[in-house]
Amino acid sequence: MSAQAMLPDRRAAWGRARPRLLLALPVLLLAGAAACGLSAWRGARANAGIAALDAGRDIPITAEAPAPLRLARVMALTRRGQTEEAEGLIETLETGPETQLGARARYALANTRLRRAFAHLARNELDPAGPLITLARQDYRRALQAWPDFWDAKFNLDVASRLLRDFPEFDRKSGDELKAEPKKIWTDIPGQPRGAP
């Protein structure tokens, strides 16, 4: 079959398909516009929820909410010291694809626990401070497992570790796998000798 004979067949096929395509095109464009509008509406709702949480209003969030909204809820809960309620949302963030958001949430929880421990230490209440510092260290480690380059978590983990080491009165028999030496009195500053003072 020659090329000239195939040309009328193509024109006939195009002539039959053209009305159907012209009818389908507006429907496809309308479906695409509806999908974009729904996505914009969800984004606007999430942004309004984040703004409300930042303003101090308490908004209930489900586990299916967008990840940035769940992170904002965790931040609001940890600011108020509601660590138990925040932990459930943190676990949903850690299992999702955005691991850095889970690391930020875990970091916020650890900071809340460390602040509580500092408040106990300021009142010379060592018994409740020790477990809080241990939990904060574990949370900082979990944040670093999800995001190894999270410098703030590294720094705060070091602070919490030094607190455990510097206060030998803390009970270190449970909750933490790394034990500090109870009689360690010399400095760990690089370049300083470990001899007599």
pLDDT at res. 179: 53
Please give the pLDDT value at position 150. 95
Name the burial class of residue 113, with classes exposed (0-12), middle (13-18) and buried (19+) by CB atoms within 10 angstroms of its CB.
buried
pTM above 0.75, yes or no: no
Q: Which residues does the chain have with pLDDT short of 70?
A: 1-8, 168-197
Task: Describe the crossing of helices 67-79 and 83-94 by its angle, rounded to 10 degrees.
Answer: 160
Q: Is 117 exposed, middle or buried (0-12, 13-18, 19+ CB in 10 A)?
A: buried
pLDDT digits (tens, 9 = 90+) for 15-40: 787 888 778 888 888 888 888 888 88
Residues in contact with 86: Cβ distance below 8 Å, sequence separation at least 6, in sequence order? 73, 74, 77, 78, 105, 108, 109
Q: How far apart are CA 140 and CA 128, in angstroms?
A: 19
- pLDDT, position 137: 95
